[in-house]
Amino acid sequence: MVKFPPHTQWDVFCKVIDNYGDIGVCWRLARQLANEQQQYVRLWVDDLKAFKEICPHVNTNLNKQLVENIFIYHWQAHWQPVSPADIVIESFACNLPDDYIQAMSQANKTILWVNLEYLTYERWSVDFHAIPSLQSLNLKKYFFFPGLPETGGLIREHAIIEQAITFQNDPIAQQQFLSQLHVTKKPNSFLLFIFSYANQAIGEWLDTLKHGEHAYQLLIPQTPLLKNLADYLHIDVNTLIPDYTVQLKNLTLQIIPFITQVDFDKLLWCTDYNIIRGEDSFIRAQYAGKPMLWHIYPQREKTHLMKLEAFLEHYLDGLPSSVQLIIKNWWFAWNNQENLAESWLAYCEQISIIKEQAKKWTEKQKTVTDLITKLAKLYKN
């Protein structure tokens, strides 16, 4: 396995555009680098408040702090000069400070400058991955695309899938964990976690669950979906705070608090079904071995739907075409916010095949080179 020399210095730059994905990805990367590969990591973040939501140890009043072996810096408009690291990660084209770029050009060492791009499974990314582009001051920047096995792969900590399976084989540990969130899994109920964007069509789906044959238990954190939920329940959205629970025939809805990334992973391992979104939560759901749905980050001109299609092509490979179509219909129904009830019912009829496929997908991830190893190869070369 290709590794970085110990104590290689990193600067990871993160601008929070919205939500938690930008910091979610950078935090995941920083933790793996510092704690699995003994790297020296400085993480520059412009919005410590968003960061604190997923990492409560972050103190929003400090400009510099050490959390989980990572030096966290508040990235402010006024840049204080620092000597550049050996590897510089510019996440999602967040634009490094001019003075920092200047310092890189004057440094007396070779620096690897990487723009960490958004996740994509589209084939075009193969031609653009890890290609250098000449910048001003004679510097080179490499464009790194996470996603496909042929491109940057995915962030995956050592033995994370094995950890998930061990946890899943331990019902007591799971119940103890859920009880910290004040959740009790009801016997024979189907436990769903929903971390999605808003969905105006959710009412017809909730009606289907409510009148369904099985008991459904939905766990929902604070997300824009709560507005749709409040409309459905005819209540004020401010009522929907952690621990709020309502029983509607066969359906139980419960609001849960925001939790750390480590606990977030555990939650995905405990449930029967995960509806996740964005980028980082979507990757984590792929390691949970559970059926899932990806609410992809909506983009203008619906380009996100092409990304969704590209992933599904990869994900559903090997399934009978009739089942592929049923899964696609459900995923697109959710993302297009239409026809949720009918597509869900058709989907549920195939659930045993879908469960098997989800397990196989997770197993397959173990065979793919992870993102950090790919970065290490790039650095070595």
CA 355 to chain CA centroid, nearest Å: 21
Binding flag, residue 21, ligand TRH (CB under 6 A): yes
Q: For ligand TRH, which is the closer residue by CB, 54 or 206?
A: 54
The window from 21-29, 163-171, 199-207, 237-245 that contacts ligand TRH (CB under 6 A) reads 21-29
What letter represents residue 279's amino acid? E
Binding flag, residue 261, ligand TRH (CB under 6 A): yes
Both tokens of 370, joined, read: 């992870």
Both tokens of 376, joined, read: 């290490």
Q: Is 223 helix (H, G, I), strand (E, B) or coil?
A: coil
Q: How many residues bind ligand TRH (CB under 6 A)?
A: 22
**What's the closest the beta carbon of residue 49 comes to ligand TRH, in angstroms?**
14
Binding flag, residue 271, ligand TRH (CB under 6 A): no
**What's the closest the beta carbon of residue 305 comes to ligand TRH, in angstroms?**
14
Binding flag, residue 298, ligand TRH (CB under 6 A): no
Q: For ligand TRH, which is the closer residue by CB, 263 or 342?
A: 263
Window 202 to 231, contacts with ligand TRH (CB under 6 A): 221
Contact 121, 145 (CB under 8 A): no
The binder of ligand TRH chosen from 40, 232, 244, 297 (CB under 6 A): 297
Q: What is the C-alpha to C-alpha distance for residues 138 and 313, in angstroms, rounded to an integer?
A: 40
The binder of ligand TRH chosen from 97, 278, 289, 291 (CB under 6 A): 278
Q: What is the C-alpha to C-alpha distance for residues 145 and 371, in angstroms, rounded to an integer?
A: 9
Binding flag, residue 54, ligand TRH (CB under 6 A): yes
Active site residues: 22, 279
Binding flag, residue 147, ligand TRH (CB under 6 A): no
Binding flag, residue 122, ligand TRH (CB under 6 A): no
Binding flag, residue 259, ligand TRH (CB under 6 A): yes
Which residues on adjacent β-strands are paired with residue 44? 13, 73
Q: What is the C-alpha to C-alpha distance for residues 310 and 84, in angstroms, rounded to an integer?
A: 37
Q: For ligand TRH, which is the closer residue by CB, 26 or 319?
A: 26
Q: Is the dihedral of CA 73, 76, 79, 85 positive or negative?
A: positive
**What's the closest the beta carbon of residue 179 comes to ligand TRH, in angstroms?**
17
DSSP string, 57-104: T--TT-SEEEETTEEEEE--SSPPP----SEEEEETT----HHHHHHH
**What's the closest the beta carbon of residue 84 comes to ligand TRH, in angstroms?**
26
**What's the closest the beta carbon of residue 24 comes to ligand TRH, in angstroms?**
2
What φ, ψ does residue 66 adopt, rounded to 5°?
-110, 120
Binding flag, residue 18, ligand TRH (CB under 6 A): yes
Binding flag, residue 51, ligand TRH (CB under 6 A): no
CA 199 to chain CA centroid, nearest Å: 19
The window from 103-111, 184-192, 240-248, 276-284 that contacts ligand TRH (CB under 6 A) reads 276-284
Binding flag, residue 258, ligand TRH (CB under 6 A): yes
Rounded to 5°, the CA angle 303-307-313 comes to 140
Expressed in percent and rounded to 5, the helix, strand and coil fractions of the chain are 45, 20, 40
Q: For ligand TRH, which is the closer residue by CB, 40 or 258?
A: 258
Q: What is the C-alpha to C-alpha distance for residues 114 and 112, in angstroms, rounded to an integer?
A: 6
Q: What is the C-alpha to C-alpha distance for residues 33 and 362, in angstroms, rounded to an integer?
A: 22
**Site residues for ligand TRH per CB under 6 A:** 17-22, 24, 54, 195, 221, 258-261, 264, 277-282, 297
